[in-house]
Structures are given as C-alpha cells and as structure tokens.
C-alpha cells in the first residue's frame, strides 16, 4: 500500500481491502459496492451506501450475533430500497477487514429492522453514511476493486 496523506500530512488510509461490484440482492437491477466487515465477532458482507443512514443489519444476522431488540437505545424507522421499516437503534463496534495494512474498528450506529413472524429479509446489510461511514476516511478504486480506509484523527 502506498502512503497517502491529507493536505495536513495526516495519514489518510491505514488499511485496504478488496471490494466487489455486483447486484446487492436477488433481482437488483443495479450493481452495488460490497465490502467484507466484522460485527460481533462474525463476518458478513455489506453494501457501501453513502446515500443511506446507519449500519443497517440483516435482522437474521443480527439475531445470530446476539442483538436483542429489547437492548436497543431507541426505536426508529427508516426508508431503505423502497421499504419503510421499524426497528431498533444500537451502538456497536464495526470492523473493516484489511488484507493489506491494518483492519479498522470503530463505533457505528446500527439499525436492526424488526420482522413479522415468518417474514424474511430480502436485502443485505448496508453501511450507510450517517452514523457509520461519516466516522471514517475511505476511498474506492473501482478499476482495481479496492477500498482504502483509515481513522479520522484530530
């Protein structure tokens, strides 16, 4: 990884990882940018979504890692990909996994949708801007399908 610094000489990125450009879910007409992350000691793939809010977790994955709606900080609702969903807000560590350099762990605000009995979640997890991506530095090289990331300092 070559050294990239801000105008003030601060290191911009401390890690890099492959990203994948493909449809985010079955029937998706557009391609999405997906990255590997770790939440609650478990790895998953999430769509990088600078137009969204929060770390939106697939509710089945959230249950698997032990997130309980009763432990939520608040109830909220969001609009995501044409759905209006109610759920709970949580704060949790999120790790971007580096293949070169250092992985980056930071606190993200997560939204966990509530499912009706027997309902399935049709979407992947998302890394939204507000409360998630706005807490780090990141850049994407679409030609080489690489994402660079680092902590916001100062």
d(CA 22, CA 20): 6
Residue range 58-113, pLDDT digits in tens = 999 999 999 988 888 888 888 877 778 899 999 999 999 999 999 999 999 999 99
Q: Which token pair is 99?
A: 């293949």
Q: Residue 50: which of 28, 35, 65, 62 has the closest Cα?
A: 35
pTM: 0.88
**Region of 131 on the Ramachandran plot (φ > 0 left; ψ -120 to 50 alpha; else beta):** left
Q: Which token pair is 68?
A: 């309980």
pLDDT value of position 92:
95
- Percent of the chain past pLDDT 70, that is, above it, reads 95
What is residue 114's DSSP assignment?
P
Please tell me the least confidently modeled range out of 30-34, 86-90, 99-103, 148-152.
30-34
pLDDT value of position 23:
67
pLDDT value of position 62:
93
pLDDT value of position 3:
64
Q: Residue 136: which of 147, 124, 123, 121 has the closest Cα?
A: 147
pLDDT value of position 72:
84
Q: Where are the domains positioned within the chain?
A: 15-151
15-151: in CATH 3.10.580.10: no
Residue 1 predicted with pLDDT over 60: no
Of residues 30 and 71, which shows the higher confidence score?
A: 71
Q: Which token pair is 4?
A: 């990239």
Q: How far is CA 135 from CA 21, 24, 53, 80, 151, in A?
A: 23, 23, 12, 21, 8
Confidence of residue 21 (pLDDT cuts 50, 70, 90): confident
Of residues 3 and 152, which shows the higher confidence score?
A: 152
Average pLDDT over residues 127-134: 96
């Amino acid at each position: 990884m070559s050294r990239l610094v801000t105008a003030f000489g601060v290191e911009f990125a401390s890690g890099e990882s492959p990203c994948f450009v493909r449809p985010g879910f079955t029937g998706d007409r557009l391609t999405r940018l997906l990255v590997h992350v770790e939440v609650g000691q478990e790895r998953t793939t999430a769509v990088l979504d600078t137009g969204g809010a929060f770390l939106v977790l697939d509710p089945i994955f959230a249950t698997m890692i032990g997130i309980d709606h009763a432990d939520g900080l608040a109830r909220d609702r969001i609009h995501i990909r044409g759905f209006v969903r109610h759920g709970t807000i949580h704060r949790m560590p999120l790790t971007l996994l580096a293949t070169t350099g250092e992985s980056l762990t930071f606190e993200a605000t997560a939204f966990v949708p509530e499912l009706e009995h027997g309902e399935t979640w049709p979407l992947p997890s998302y890394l939204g801007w507000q409360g998630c991506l706005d807490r780090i530095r990141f850049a994407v090289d679409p030609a080489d399908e690489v994402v660079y990331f680092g902590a916001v300092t100062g």
